[in-house]
Amino acid sequence: MEKYYLAVDIGASSGRHILGTVKDGKIHLEEIYRFENGMKRIGNQLCWDVESLFGEIKEGMKVCKKMGKIPVSMGIDTWAVDYVLLDREDRMLGNAAGYRDDRTKGMDELVYHTISLKDLYQRTGIQKQIFNTIYQLMAVKEKNPDHLIHAESFLMIPDYFHFLLTGVKKQEYTNATTTQLVNPETGSWDYELIESLGFPKKLFGPLSMPGTVVGELSEQIREETGFSCQVILPATHDTGSAVMAVPVVPGDPDSMKDILYISSGTWSLMGTELLKADCSLKSMEANFTNEGGYEHRYRYLKNIMGLWMIQSVRKELAEKGEKYSFAELCQMASKENIKSLVDCNDSVFLAPDSMIRAVKDFCKNGQMQVPQTPGEIAAVIYNSLAACYGDTIKELESITGKTYPAIHVVGGGSNAEYLNQLTADRTGRTVYAGPGEATAIGNLLAQMLAFHEFDGLKQAREAVYRSFAVKEYKPKEIL
């Protein structure tokens, strides 16, 4: 009898339910349900509709019952940094604000009244991003202090969904590290930092590692979905799950060393794995982050704006009646010769009213050729991303003292052939692209490892290599 595992992978724009099985050492996937996601404006705040999302989670679970494919376990991963506060009756306090909301503007300076940016990095190893949870909580403290006063629970978004499924509250480690409130040496909350910032210590309990059993589905959920299973923590931060699924060559004793990856989606997360966090000044100045990973590995990476820019352009064009697929935009971009580049990490691209106008304005202000056509705009974005990847590799090699001969691109962006070739050309490295469903695969791997389907992470990653197509891109020239 086949043993099924269910990954619920929720991204910033969509979510999916994927069943996984292991047969003859290979992982097989079956997508059974998909739904839309996105921030919604409630009043003057950009928020996640967590009630609707949880409804979609249950609807996808019902499909398992209809198919007669009941999972032995399930787990949920989402994006990072966002959370909910619950009162003593487990009711949400306020909205589930999204990371693109501007409520954190100026909150960094308030944090630095208590601790300097340098000292904060040395304590946590997390790069400064204005939407980090630490700044979100400071915004609540300043603007809605009653929410913190009445809060009894603090749960990151996937932790909240796991609680709704089981009635059990657990705070998962990999996502917790993105709050900028976790000590990388101890792997637990930095309570001294938390208390110095005026955040209630009681909200921050023991951290649980991927592979931890949360519990069985509650009676109510069993009745709604028609089955029961265990809920097991994956790396609930989607990048943590995606990095777990970076494939390695079977039988190569050095395959787990010096892996360079890009988890490519709405964001591009580019980096390597370290066994010890690098909280040095040089690392801070280069804006690298030490996010927690499976088995207390560190995802030493840089957050790059990623495909959010091209996603926004595509949506904006569609609203004007110009509908293109991503493949069509790639094809159009490949025919352009425009040389203009933008800084993908500039805050002007985080949540502009018009991404097209933001790209044009950046080029105009930099006295570069201003893109006019959809193909030119796409070309500027794709070339800028590839250039950013090239700069990041140079910084990474300078800091670590290592050389990375290849780049593994995983996630949805691994299907962007034009960008993959540009990345190979810009960096002079071979690019290995795939698997595309890396986040869901990593989610499943944590569950499968908990059920002893594999002997360890290395064997699991070897199974990924055997199971999914990985396409190779050689650099045509070094730019």
**Whether residues 223 and 245 fall in one domain:** no
- Name residues whose C-beta falls within 8 Å of residue 223's C-beta, 6 or more positions apart in sequence: none
CB 94 within 8 A of CB 137: no
Last residue of a domain, one of 204, 232, 260: 232
Pairwise CA distance, residues 134 & 181, whole Å: 7
**Whether residues 257 and 152 fall in one domain:** no
Considering only CA atoms, which of 349, 428, 360, 358 is closest in space to residue 393? 428
**Whether residues 18 and 139 fall in one domain:** yes
Last residue of a domain, one of 232, 262, 294: 232
Structure letter (DSSP) for residue 241: H
**Whether residues 399 and 437 fall in one domain:** yes
Q: What is the pLDDT of residues 157-185, one digit of tens each?
A: 999 999 999 999 999 999 999 999 999 99
Query: Cis peptide before 371, with omega less than 30 degrees from 0?
Result: no
Q: Which amino acid is at 65?
A: K
Domain count, the chain: 2
Structure letter (DSSP) for residue 78: B
Is 238 in the active site? yes
Task: Kindly report the CATH number assigned to the domain that includes residue 357.
Answer: 3.30.420.40
CB 344 within 8 A of CB 304: yes
The single residue of 238, 361, 391, 425 carrying the catalytic annotation is 238
**Whether residues 389 and 247 fall in one domain:** yes
pLDDT at 477: 61
Task: Identify the segments of the chain with pLDDT beneath 50.
Answer: 479
**Whether residues 274 and 224 fall in one domain:** no
| Domain span at 198 | 4-232
pLDDT at 351: 86
**Whether residues 193 and 257 fall in one domain:** no
Last residue of a domain, one of 232, 265, 281: 232
**Whether residues 110 and 257 fall in one domain:** no
**Whether residues 111 and 217 fall in one domain:** yes
Q: What is the pLDDT of residues 110-139, one digit of tens each?
A: 999 999 999 999 999 999 999 999 999 999
pLDDT at 350: 87
pLDDT at 83: 98
Q: What is the CA radius of gyration of the chain?
A: 22
